[in-house]
Amino acid sequence: MTSVIDGKAVAASVLEECRAEVAELKAKGTVPGLAVVLVGDDPASHVYVGSKVRTCADLGLHSEKIVLPAETTQEELIAVVQRLNADPAIHGILVQSPPPKHIDEEAVVRAIDPRKDVDGFHPENVAKLALEDPTGFVPCTPAGCMRLLAAAGVKTAGAEAVVIGRSMIVGKPMALLLMAKGSDATVTVAHSRSKDLPAICRRADIIVAAVGRPEMVKADWMKEGAVVIDVGINRIDDPSTKKGYRLVGDVAYDEVAPKCSAITPVPGGVGPMTIALLIKNTLQAARQLG
Amino acid sequence: MTSVIDGKAVAASVLEECRAEVAELKAKGTVPGLAVVLVGDDPASHVYVGSKVRTCADLGLHSEKIVLPAETTQEELIAVVQRLNADPAIHGILVQSPPPKHIDEEAVVRAIDPRKDVDGFHPENVAKLALEDPTGFVPCTPAGCMRLLAAAGVKTAGAEAVVIGRSMIVGKPMALLLMAKGSDATVTVAHSRSKDLPAICRRADIIVAAVGRPEMVKADWMKEGAVVIDVGINRIDDPSTKKGYRLVGDVAYDEVAPKCSAITPVPGGVGPMTIALLIKNTLQAARQLG
C-alpha cells in the first residue's frame, strides 16, 4: 500500500494557515508585502513569478512584481534591491533565479537585507540554518520537503535519511534540517562522487533525491517501505505528448512507487510546496520586522 | 598493521609551514598578530591560552594575551573586542571559551570582525564553510582532523565517513568539510538520537568521533581497516595515576586500534592540531587583511 503524498493538497493547507496568519497580521496593522524582481524575459521565470504574485493576491498579501530589462546592470539591480530593503511595505524580497549571465547572483543575494531574504540564500540565513536559529529563513524547497514528511506522518527521529545531492539550494539545507534537534534523523549526504549509490540508498528509511538526473533512482535502490521525496523536475523528450516532452523526477516513479510506503509524484509533489513556503517565509519576515 | 597517526608530528609540520609563511609575510612588511582574550581565572583556560601565546612567540608572530577579571561585563568584553577589531597589528582574535556564565558567548562571537574570527565561529564564517568559500575560517578542530587524514594518506573521495556528533564546533563543520567538493566523501552524521550507532559505524571507512563520551566507540562498531579520528578528550578517574585521573578519547583505543588501518591516540592525536590550525588561520587572516 503506497501512499502518494499529494503536494498540491499539502501546499493548499499550508496556504490556508498563511491566510489565517495574514488576517492576524492585518488585525495588528501590518499588511505583509512581497517583492519579486525579475530581470530579462525568460518565459519560465515569468510563469513562476506570475504564480507567486497571484498567490499573494489570493491570500491578501501586498505584492510587487518588478520586471527589469535583460540589459540591467548589476549596480542597477542592487539599487532596486536596496530601495526594497528600505521600503517598509515590503517584508520579503526575492530576485528570480537565474539572472542574466552578466549579473553576479551571489552579490545580489548578499545585497538583500537578511531580514527580508525569504529565499533563505543570504549567508546570514545559511548560518542560522546551520546554527538551528529559528529566526532565520529556511530555503523554500527543503522547508517544503520537511512539511511533506510531516504531512505524511513520517517520523524522522532516529530514521536513516539519505539525501542525494549536496547543493546549497536543496541538498545541504535538507541535510541540516533533517539532522537538527527535533528532527533527529541520522543523515547521509550522497552525491555524484559517492561509491555505490544504490547500496547507500538501500539503507534509507527516507530518501530525498535532489540531483537533477531524470529517473536515476531505481526500484532496486530501495528498501521495501521507504519514504521517497523527489525534488527533481526534469524534462524528457516524449513525442507522444502535445508539447513533445514530459516532466519526470529524479526517481523512476513507476517502478519505485510500489516499493514505497509513501512517495511524492512529479509533478504535484515538492513543486507546489515552494510557493507555499515562500509565503510562509514572507509572513515570518513580516512578524519579525514587526 | 595499525598506523598510529602522530598528531604532535603532524602539528609540528603544520607549524613549520607556518614559520615559512610568517617569514614571507614579514618580508612583505606584515607581522601577523593574534590576540587571545581570557575572562576569569579558569586554570585550564590559562594553560590553553599560555600555550597559544608561546607558540606565537616561537614562530615570530606578534601576540597579545588580554586577561580580564571574572566580573567583566559583556559590554566591557565587547568593547575590548571592538578595540582589537580596529587594531591594525591584530589579525586574529580569539575569546577563550567558556566565558563566565553572565556572558552571552554568541553575542561576543558576533562582535568579532569576521575577517579576524580565526576560531571560525562567526555566522559569516559558518556560512562560508557551508558555501565552500575558501576565504572563510574553518574551525580549528575539524580543520585539524582534515589535516590528520591528509597526513595519513587517507583518500576521502567516495569514502564512507561517519561523523558521530552534530555540534557546530566539530560535528557539523567536519561533515561539511568531508562532503565538500575536493573531499567528496559520502558523509553520515550520527548522534545521540541515532538508532543502532554500532551498525552505522560499521559501514564507515572513516569514523570521526566527537561526542564527549569516554570510550564509547567499541571494536565491534568497526569495519576491519577503518580509519578512526578521535576528537574526544575525557577525564576518567584512575587512582593508579598521580593525578587521580587519566585522559581518554571517545574511542576504546586499546580494543579498537588493532582493527584500524589508522587511528589517532588521545592525547597526542587531534589535540595538538588545534593550536597549529589556529596559527594557520591567523596567517590566512593576515594575508587577507593585507
d(CA A282, CA A112): 14
**Is A182 at the interface with chain B, CB within 8 A?**
no
Query: Would residue A222 count as lying in a domain?
Result: yes
Distance from CA of B210 to the nearest CA of A (A): 15
pLDDT of residue A16: 98
| Residue A222's CATH number | 3.40.50.720
Q: Residues B117, B119, B230, B250: which is the catalytic one?
A: B119
Predicted model pTM: 0.96
Residue B290 has pLDDT above 90, yes or no: no
Same domain for A100 and A168, yes or no, is: no
In a domain, A131, yes or no: no
Q: Are the beta carbons of B127 and A131 separated by less than 8 Å?
A: no
Which of B:151-170 have CB within 8 Å of A?
A: 157-160, 166, 168
Could you please report the per-residue DSSP string of chain B?
-PEEP-HHHHHHHHHHHHHHHHHHHHHTT---EEEEEEES--HHHHHHHHHHHHHHHHHT-EEEEEEE-TT--HHHHHHHHHHHHH-TT--EEEEPSSPPTTS-HHHHHHHS-GGG-TT--SHHHHHHHHTT-TTSPPPHHHHHHHHHHHHTT---TT-EEEEE---TTTHHHHHHHHHSTTT--EEEEE-TT-S-HHHHHHT-SEEEE-S--TT-B-GGGS-TT-EEEE---EEEE-TTSSSSEEEE-SB-HHHHGGG-SEE--SSSSSHHHHHHHHHHHHHHHHHHH-
* Same-domain status, B151 and B249: yes
Which among A123, A157, A175 is the nearest to B193, CB-wise?
A157
Catalytic-residue membership of B96: yes
Residue A186 pLDDT:
98
Q: Is B115 annotated as a binding residue?
A: no
Summarised one tens digit per residue, pLDDT across range A5-39 is 999 999 999 999 999 999 999 999 999 999 999 99
Is the domain of B146 the same as that of B104? no
Judging contacts by C-beta atoms under 8 Å, the chain B residues touching residue A126 are 126-127, 130-131
Q: Which residues of A sit in the known binding site for NADP(+)? A: 165-167, 233
Domain assignment of residue A285, yes or no = no
Chain A residues inside the 8 Å CB shell of B199: none
Tell me how far CA of residue A269 lies from CA of A141, B41, B285, in angstroms.
11, 57, 46
The arithmetic mean of pLDDT across residues B171-195, rounded, is: 97
pLDDT for position A172: 98
Mean pLDDT of B133-155: 98
Q: What is the DSSP-derived secondary structure letter of residue A88? A: T
What average pLDDT does this structure show over B6-23?
98
Tell whether B214 and B179 lie within a shared domain.
yes
Query: Which residues of A are less than 8 Å from B138 in CB distance?
Result: none
Nearest neighbour of B186 by CB, restricted to A124, A127, A190: A190
Examine residue A277 and state whether it is found in any structural domain, yes or no: no
User: Is the pLDDT confidence value at A290 over 90?
Assistant: no
Q: Is A186 at the interface with chain B, CB within 8 A?
A: yes
For chain B, the domain total comes to 2
Which pLDDT score is estimated for B250? Answer: 98
B283 contacts B277 by C-beta, under 8 angstroms: no
Is A194 at the interface with chain B, CB within 8 A?
yes
- Asked if B228 and B256 count as a contact pair (C-beta separation under 8 A), the reply is yes
The answer to whether residues A40 and A69 touch, using CB atoms and an 8 Å cutoff, is: yes
Q: Order the strands of the B92-95 sheet from edge to edge.
A: B62-68, B33-39, B92-95
Of A119, A205, A230, A250, which residue is the catalytic one? A119
Note whether A66 contacts B: Cβ–Cβ < 8 A.
no
Residues A108 and A166 in one domain: no
Question: Which pLDDT belongs to residue A66?
Answer: 98
Residues A151 and A230 in one domain: yes
Cα A66 → chain centroid = 21
Residues A109 and A146 grouped into a single domain: no
Q: Output the pLDDT for position B223.
A: 97
On the question of pLDDT at A250 being above 90, the answer is yes
Q: Is pLDDT above 90 for A1?
A: no
Residue B157 binned pLDDT confidence (cut-offs 50, 70, 90): very high
Helices A123-130 and A171-179: crossing angle in degrees, nearest 10, is 30
Q: Is residue B89 part of a domain?
A: yes
- Identify whether residues A153 and A266 lie together within a single domain: yes
Which tens digits make up the pLDDT trace of A255-280? 999 999 999 999 999 999 999 999 99
- Read off the pLDDT band of B1 (50, 70, 90): confident
Whole-angstrom distance, CA of residue A183 vs CA of residue A123: 23
Cβ contact A187–B186 (<8 Å): no
- Please give the Cα distance from B188 to B178 (Å, whole number): 10
ipTM value? 0.95
Q: Are A274 and A144 in contact (CB under 8 A)?
A: yes
A residues 99-128 closer than 8 Å to B (CB):
123-124, 126-128
Does B259 lie in the same domain as B151?
yes
The whole-number average pLDDT for the span B79-98 is 97
Residue A250 designated active-site = no
CA dist., res. A282 & res. A19, Å (int): 12
Chain A interface mutation, best of B186, B192, B200, highest count of A Cβ atoms under 10 Å:
B186
Query: For residue A4, what are the β-bridge partners?
Result: A263
Reduced to 3 states, what is the DSSP secondary structure of residue A106?
helix
In a domain, A127, yes or no: no
3-state secondary structure B107-169: HHHHHCCHHHCCCCCCHHHHHHHHCCCCCCCCCHHHHHHHHHHHHCCCCCCCCEEEEECCCCC
Asked whether residue B189 is assigned to any structural domain, the reply reads yes
Question: In this structure, is residue B170 part of a structural domain?
Answer: yes
Average pLDDT, chain B: 97
B54 is in an annotated binding site: no
The answer to whether residues B208 and B247 belong to one domain is yes
Mean pLDDT score, B171-190? 98
Does the annotation flag B240 for ligand binding? no
CATH code of A83's domain: 3.40.50.10860
Q: Which domain holds residue A100?
A: 29-116
Q: Are residues A154 and A255 in the same domain?
A: yes
For residue A232, how many C-alpha atoms fall within 13 Å in the half-sphere facing its CB? Answer: 27
Q: Do A156 and A255 belong to one domain?
A: yes
Using the Cβ of A172 and the Cβ atoms of chain B, whether some distance falls under 8 Å is answered with: yes
Whether B193 contacts chain A with CB within 8 A: yes
